[in-house]
Amino acid sequence: MLTESIWKELGVTDSTLTVEEQEFLDENGYLSLGILLDTQQRQSILNRVIEILDEEGDNAGFELFDSPHIKHPKELGSDRLANLANKGKVFDIFYTHPKVLAAVRQVLGGDVKLSSLNYRAALPGYGLQKLHVDWKEPVEQGDYKVCNSIWLLDDFSAANGATRLVAGSHLWGKVPADVMENPEDPHPQEMILEAPAGTVVIFNSHTWHGGTTNTTSAPRRAIHSYFCRGDQPQQLDHQRYINAETRERISPSMRALLAVDQVN
């Protein structure tokens, strides 16, 4: 459980987000935090991603398909990696950045944990997803279970299949499949998250969203640090997957975020 002392150790206070940022996130279900990764950081991350893709080969992202709680069929037209919290210090920033954590706390409340830390690249000609939410059913306003962040490793544009979302839809108490004949179709209120590489966008995962088609000749790459409320199961059971090197390296507060041991 994340206590106030742990939040403080993680650098999160009530003023980490401005009042305007908090209100925008509450009303719209998403918030751009601007550029949080510089060019050198992005390159270091991409270098490690390439190494892992090469090491894991056809098994890349296998942990997603092995989840005891949520099944993820392999997605045609994408490269996937999972369990990145265990695959290098370079990935620590994705679940410890204070502004990201402050936004997640704004959505989910004071007790949260990292549900999963994954890489996804939509390959040329692919990437279209149905509008969807990341929960099995509608929820009441304020009773949010999950919150995601998209860390852009490339520029996101309409051409390369940037994520679309319907601002404010987290307040509707409905999921797209309940009201749309075909959730793959464009929604009249959808917007495309176009932003430069290095940008981080938080979105309440009950906000309607989905990928669009990458019509360019290059992959559209991103990392998702996905959080859940403390009383919900993780997408990836970090207690099961954490290795000795990671457990030794990370701080007690980081272990609390991963929910891999009890921190008093």
**What's the CATH code of the domain at 224?**
2.60.120.620
For 24-100, strand residue ranges (E) read 30-35, 78-81
Q: What would the pLDDT profile of 193-218 be if each residue is shown by its tens digit?
A: 999 999 999 999 999 999 999 999 99
Contact assessment for residue 225 and residue 128, using Cβ atoms and an 8 Å cutoff: no
Q: What would the pLDDT profile of 88-141 be if each residue is shown by its tens digit?
A: 999 999 999 999 999 999 999 999 999 999 999 999 999 999 999 999 999 999
Q: What is the mean pLDDT of the chain?
A: 94
Determine the number of helices (DSSP H) and then strands (DSSP E) in the chain. Answer: 10, 9
| Residue 263 located in a structural domain | no
Asked whether the predicted pLDDT for residue 38 surpasses 60, the reply is yes
Asked whether the predicted pLDDT for residue 68 surpasses 90, the reply is no
| Residue 83 located in a structural domain | yes
Residue 264 confidence (pLDDT) = 38
CA–CA dist 106, 179 (Å, integer):
28
Residue 263 confidence (pLDDT) = 42
Q: Which amino acid is at 139?
A: V
Q: Residue 114 contacts by C-beta under 8 Å, 6 or more apart in sequence?
A: 85, 95, 225, 226, 227, 234, 238, 257, 258, 259
CA–CA dist 253, 80 (Å, integer):
27
Residue 261 confidence (pLDDT) = 82
| Residue 128 located in a structural domain | yes
CA–CA dist 83, 113 (Å, integer):
14
| Residue 106 located in a structural domain | yes
Q: How many domains does the chain have?
A: 1
Residue 133 confidence (pLDDT) = 97
Report the pLDDT averaged over residues 68-96.
Answer: 85
CA–CA dist 145, 119 (Å, integer):
21
Residue 138 phi/psi, 5-degree rounding, is -65, 155
pLDDT classification of 34: cutoffs 50, 70, 90: very high
CA-based max dimension of the chain: 50
| Residue 264 located in a structural domain | no
| Residue 198 located in a structural domain | yes
Residue 74 confidence (pLDDT) = 62
| Residue 40 located in a structural domain | yes
Q: Which amino acid is at 38?
A: D
Q: Which domain range does residue 121 map to?
A: 4-258
